[in-house]
Chains A and B, each alone.
Chain A
């Protein structure tokens, strides 16, 4: 009889242990215009979650991460974040598209659920939402860096801007133009393009006509690749400058030789001269069979940030997690999964080292490492 009771008790214990999980839904772009970024982010997060679970989870609890596709559509992302909130999550991972984040971050805020996003539009962290956290630079952080590079590195006096007319492109263009004005550099051509645009011939003609010292290109992945091909075809000789996306691995793969010579600033790079990042890239490649871009790092480090902060608190408390992440600095020594030392400020914005890079022989080559802003 006693053995029977102990077996029953043991079974209960096993059952209780199995129920001890922590819910971290991934709401992300898996189809539509954002699928490239979203899939990278998702795979990065899944890689981190599997590693953490293999080592026993967070505070002994395994992570459960149901995925839902936003179809890159803000209205659907709202429904999916609502669904995630209904399941009583600890944090929400995603989305990447700024428009979607703007729709659903209010819901997460009302439910007091920390949201770890891959979005970069400047205004997301400027709305006073204490539950939103970035995993990469916002445009208000990255544009001053690229502006300094254009002024000091290229010594350009005039610049032409080509941008994609969605909230990501427009936000970047507006911030960039402001930074140029502050440095006395004249914007001589301002060329908006469409999301999903295929033919860039007329735009390249316009840029050539402007004859600026440098051309700044700020579009999503596929458009960047198409633009680079057209610019090569028309023999553009002026330096083509980009911010993260233009130098991303996906763009290089799609643009082929035409990507060579493109340079600029990368906030995050799978080719960063940091051993931990390079080792991570190999791990990712082995698991998923493709070379990740910066969005993969966003998903991966986002999960590890949650793990570290939770370990620091010692319990699962969403409000306390948000509070702890504000002003927190995580070093790779404390948590190897963070890959590079990272600081979150009071708005949920991120600070860490970034890089100047150039595309050489179909590969992104880091030319210089820029220090953290706070240093």
Chain B
């Protein structure tokens, strides 16, 4: 009951928030929504299924380039969503195959190579991607007469997609699939002995997580309205990894908080001028040193430390 109330309050806050903000604040909130979608995807792969990936930023890039290439040619954004989901799902599935053979840091290196490969393709295949010059003039979509050109409208569009993605992810985690993912993370051998097809679920974890990265990319392109390959280099993948871990890997609301820390906190810290990136780094270091399970882990720990005392009172 408390949880439902908290979700309701958060939803109302997200809808009301932009009205008191200038375009700069609305842009940051939109960026938060987009990054949250990508982080939800990585949270499925990493947090629930336990497969580390340093390539989530590449899928955001693939989605963004699909959106940019299609919409600048006059195709609707809906088609870009469909194409990005299908393509990222397929590539994610293929990327899952090495995960069947290697795990942990070995897998991290496999996905790292993939991230580098995608960056090189985006940069060097100029006939398709325009290389380092990037693609500019990406239009924002119009949905059934609703133009999302203004910052506020586009924020609500991002929020709508985020709500749909979050609902789908929430459903999936509660479904037998989600439980199979968790089983895969906790003990793959036992999962396999209980009849879970670990091979299929590993591939599925990568494919679904990657498809969500693609969806985030399709929103990123019209948000920034200019894309170039360096935006999707390793830095973004590491940042998404940070979001998942800081928020609390394997917890449904982790990516929401993690993305807020990564996107909004550096901006709030700007009052310290030259020091803001240092303060941000110190915050992340302290958080992970004292609470490796992330912000939500911190909350859970705080609750636990309260409960025994209330029990003893009984």
Contacts and interface: CB of A to CB of B under 8 A. Distances in A.
B147 interface: no
A123 B225 contact: no
B298 to A, nearest CB: 27
Interface in A75-101: 75, 78-79, 82-83, 85-86, 99
B274 A82 contact: no
B226 interface: yes
Nearest to A168: B132
B292 interface: no
A86 B231 contact: no
Contacts of B27: 78-79, 82
Given A68-B270, A78-B224, A79-B28, A86 B23 contact: yes
A167 B23 contact: no
A30 B133 contact: no
Contacts of A195: 230
Q: Is the interface of A mostly helix, strand, loop or mixed?
A: helix
A79 B273 contact: no
B131 interface: yes
Interface extent on A, as a size class? 20 to 34
Nearest to B278: A31
Contacts of B231: 73-75
Contact of B273 (A67, A166, A171): A67
B123 interface: yes
B31 interface: yes
B236 to A, nearest CB: 9
Nearest to B263: A79
Nearest to B21: A86
Contact of A171 (B133, B224, B267): B133
A74 B226 contact: yes
A40 to B, nearest CB: 15
A159 B297 CA distance: 61
A226 to B, nearest CB: 20
Contacts of A167: 132-134, 228
Contacts of A189: none
A267 to B, nearest CB: 22
B24 interface: yes
Contacts of A169: 132
Interface string B225-241: 11010110000000000
B224 A75 contact: yes
Contacts of B23: 82, 85-86
Contacts of A165: 123, 132
Interface in A152-182: 165-167, 169-171
A82 B132 contact: no
Contacts of A328: none
Interface residues of B, number: 24
A31 B224 CA distance: 21
Contacts of B304: none
A191 interface: no
A164 to B, nearest CB: 10
Interface string B211-251: 00000000000001110101100000000000000000000
B136 interface: yes
Contacts of B274: 30
Contacts of A73: 231
B289 to A, nearest CB: 24
B226 A102 contact: yes
A73 B31 CA distance: 14
Given A79-B31, A99-B230, A86 B277 contact: no
A315 B273 CA distance: 32
A169 B230 CA distance: 14
B3 interface: no
B228 A83 contact: no
A74 B228 contact: yes
A169 B133 CA distance: 10
Interface in A96-133: 99, 102-103, 106, 123
Nearest to A68: B270
A86 B136 CA distance: 23
A123 B133 contact: yes
A170 B273 contact: no
B22 interface: yes
B261 to A, nearest CB: 16
Nearest to A111: B23
A69 to B, nearest CB: 8
Given A78-B224, A86-B22, A86-B24, A166 B132 contact: yes
Contacts of B134: 99, 102, 167
Nearest to A195: B230
B225 A79 contact: no
A320 B273 CA distance: 33
Interface string B126-139: 00000111101000
Given A165-B132, A167-B132, A99 B228 contact: yes
B12 to A, nearest CB: 25
Contact of A170 (B22, B28, B131, B270): B131
Nearest to B23: A82
Nearest to A171: B133
Contact of A82 (B24, B123, B226, B228): B24
Contacts of B228: 74, 99, 167
A83 B271 CA distance: 14
Given A74-B231, A86-B23, A103 B28 contact: no
Contact of B31 (A75, A85, A166): A75
A343 to B, nearest CB: 28
A67 B271 CA distance: 11
Nearest to B151: A82
A79 B22 contact: no
A102 B136 CA distance: 8
Given A69-B270, A69-B277, 6 more contacts: A79-B24, A99-B132, A99-B134, A166-B132, A167-B132, A170-B133
Q: What are the 3 tightest A-B residue pairs by CB atom distance, in nearest-first order?
A: A83-B24, A86-B22, A82-B24
21 contacts: A71-B277, A73-B231, A74-B224, A74-B226, A75-B224, A78-B226, A79-B27, A79-B31, A82-B24, A82-B27, A85-B23, A86-B23, A99-B228, A99-B230, A102-B134, A102-B226, A103-B225, A106-B225, A123-B133, A166-B230, A170-B132
